[in-house]
Every structure is written in structure tokens, then in C-alpha cells.
Structure 1
């Protein structure tokens, strides 16, 4: 699957999809982003069942600010609407493939239970 362009308008719909969603935050002027782009595209071809999106931080400054993107490239990995990983910097293909493998292996029911437990703990600490 080729990469898709992600904007503020389609961000929420994209990350809410079932399955693995990988987002590459980049900018035209960024050297490491230009080197990571072909790696991201190549790996996207190896995983046609996953969504690979690119977010131009210059064109989507409000979204980038809301997500606190402070350096680029930044990769965000979601599965079934849950943010699993956030990696800043250029990743080699093998590291990207490994990250995808880990996302695929997760028991999302268990992940959701852990999130709920952490939220309940935060609420109790705040009371």
C-alpha cells in the first residue's frame, strides 16, 4: 500500500481505524526526513494490510503542535486507535519492521486493561 497524506481533517478517522497505523511526521526542508521517506515507503509495500500516512508538519502546524511534535522525522504507531509508540529520528528499515512486528503481536485487550488501570490510578491519586 502506498502512503496516504494525513491532515488535520483526516487524522482522527485514520488513527481510529482497526489495525496498525504508522504516521511519519516530516517537512520538505528536513534532511533526515528526506532519507527516511524512501525507507517508510519501501516498508509500506511490505505491509499492505497496514495504513502508512505522512504528515507534512509545515502544512499541518496546528496538528503537529497539538501532538507536541518537537523534532522530525517523528514516527507514531497506533493500533486499533491506541498510540503504542512514538519515535523521533531516522529509523532504518529493520528497526521499522521490528516496531511493526511488536505492534502486531500485542494483545490489544490486555493493553486496554492496562490503560484503564493506569487511568483509574491517576484519578485516585488526583482525589
Structure 2
């Protein structure tokens, strides 16, 4: 699967309706964003079980504001609708692969129960 553009209207459903969603907040004028784009695209092609979304912060300013994006690129990862990772900066391919594997391996139900003190 290749990357998909996500709009404000699609964001909640995309995150809620998929097991794992990565979201790259970017802008066309951003050099690090342009450098990260091919890394992100390649990862999307080899991880078909993950949705790789892209949010253009210029076109989707309200969504970027709601997500509290302060620096781009910012990468967020969601598992079963829950934010499990958020970090600004472009990741090298190995770090992105590692992140994807960590999100896959995360037992979100146990993590949520632990967070609730159960």
C-alpha cells in the first residue's frame, strides 16, 4: 500500500477504523519533509498492514492545529485508535522500521489497562 493523503474530515475515521496508522505531518516547502517523503513511501510499500497517512499542514491547518503540530515533519503512530507515538523530525529508514515493529508488538489493551492502574 502506498501513502494516502488525509484531510480533516477523514482523520478520525482513518485512525479509528484501522489497526495501525502512521501519520506524517508535512509541508511542501519543508526540506526535511521532502527528504523524509521517499523513506516514508518505501516503508509504506513494504508494510501493507499499516496505513501510512500524510497530512499537508498548509492545506489542513485546522487539523495540524488540533494535533498540536509545532514542528514538521512530525510523525504520529496510532494503534487501535490510540496515539502511541508522536515525534517531530525525519527518521532514518532503520528507525522508522524499528518504530513500526514496536507499534506492531505493542499490546495496546495491556498498556491501557496499566495506564488505568488495573
Correspondence for 2:51: 51
Correspondence for 2:100: 100
Compute the TM-score of the two structures, normalised by the length of structure 2.
Answer: 0.96
Distance in 2 between residues matched to 1:51 and 1:18, nearest whole Å: 7
Distance in 2 between residues matched to 1:80 and 1:67, nearest whole Å: 17
Correspondence for 1:39: 39
Q: Secondary structure at the match of 2:22?
A: strand
Map 1:57-68; keep pairs closer than 5 Å.
Answer: 57-68=57-68
* Shift, 1:87, TM fit: 1.3
Correspondence for 1:82: 82
Unaligned runs of 5+ in 1: 119-127
Correspondence for 1:26: 26
Q: CA RMSD in A?
A: 1.2
* Shift, 1:112, TM fit: 1.8
Contact kept in structure 1, 2:5 and 2:53, CA below 8 Å: yes
* Shift, 1:17, TM fit: 2.1
Distance in 2 between residues matched to 1:3 and 1:38, nearest whole Å: 10
* Shift, 1:97, TM fit: 0.5
* Shift, 1:49, TM fit: 1.1
Unaligned runs of 5+ in 2: none
Distance in 1 between residues matched to 2:3 and 2:16, nearest whole Å: 17
Larger Rg: 1
